[in-house]
Amino acid sequence: MTLSEASAHSAITVPERVIPVPSSLSPEAQAALSRAAVPAFAYPPLDDAAAWRQLVSAANEGLLAQLEMLAGASPDSVPSPTDTIRAGNADVFVITPPNADREDSRILLEVHGGGLIVGAGKCCAAMGAFTAARLGLRTWAVDYRMPPDHPYPAGVDDCLAAYRALLELRSPGEIIVSGISAGANLAAALILRARDEGLPAPACAILLTPQADLTESGDSFVTNLGIDINLTQSLKPAGLLYAAGTDLRDPYVSPLFADFTRGFPPALLATGTRDLLLSSTVQLHQALRAAGREADLHVLEAMPHGFLPGTPEDQHLVGQIRDFIDMHATAKAPPSPAAG
């Protein structure tokens, strides 16, 4: 049997079909899931830096418009950064939401998503503000450097520098490292780097629909393609741009392939049954559990990549994240002014 014959033999041909929105979801989630999918786009050649800059700029403009629209819908609950500090080569936005307990010394180190190329500047500040408001915690949002001008390891270096700066103000047990999608990749990578450089682990990690495998070896990259309305195409080209020639299986590039047998904190992972990164999330959870690490996995019914903010399903997940943080991170003293 030839390789092509073997591949054909092991594949399943699925007939064209219509996939309805499940009636089991809340009315809000059904409405959100019924909207048009985010349109796919063409990636530039890897060596065309100018075209990548154009793509990133346009994507940031679109993302910022969406974030401003969301903030306008709830202006009283979404805070603005109260300070900006410098950590290594990156800015860090310090955000104190109105619903934060002033006596709670815990701080969330937030790493934004965006496919490893999008989400800088004002977008980073806005996404950090939403996370801070949702969790009711003081937040440091890391505006890490990204391709095409700053590929790996710049982003991991910046996140690690922010973590080092936070360790000067807080004990490890007061620090939560969090990220979504590409941010969850970098959140896991910074914890691994911190461990390997002799730094203590944070109290816990929140890894939401993590882009943990840039090789995209998981099943859902095929089975959920065309079903996920938020992530409608492969992220592989952006991953290759980010890696800049580094092996995609390097554990700091794709944390799925890391050794988790030591120095990794309790982690909460979440995904959805329609998430293109469902497999990456499940595989990372399995790797953590196989290594003896404490890891909780939440798989939300019919949720696409990034979930559906504002729906009861999303609010329930936020409650689960808060409970997980309360279980693992301890507030020890009133915060110092320098930490916001």
CA separation for the pair 216, 225 (Å, rounded): 12
- Tokens 């030591």 belong to 262
Q: Where are the beta strands (DSSP E) in the chain?
A: 83-87, 90-95, 107-111, 138-143, 175-180, 204-208, 267-272, 295-300
Closest CA to 103 of 338, 330, 285: 330
Contact by Cβ (8 Å): 269, 76? no
Q: Is residue 259 annotated as part of the catalytic site, yes or no?
A: no
| Identity at 44, one-letter amino acid code | P
CA 30 to chain centre: 24
Q: Is residue 305 annotated as part of the catalytic site, yes or no?
A: yes
- Identify the DSSP state of 68: H
Contact by Cβ (8 Å): 96, 340? yes
C-beta atoms surrounding 167 within 10 Å: 16
Q: Is residue 24 annotated as part of the catalytic site, yes or no?
A: no
Catalytic residue among 157, 305, 314, 328: 305
Could you tell me the two tokens for 284? 């990372």
H or E, element range at 252: none
CA separation for the pair 176, 163 (Å, rounded): 10
Q: How far is CA 153 from CA 122, 186, 195, in A?
A: 22, 10, 16
Catalytic residue among 157, 275, 296, 314: 275
Contact by Cβ (8 Å): 137, 176? yes
Catalytic residue among 143, 150, 158, 181: 181
Residues annotated catalytic, as ranges: 181, 275, 305
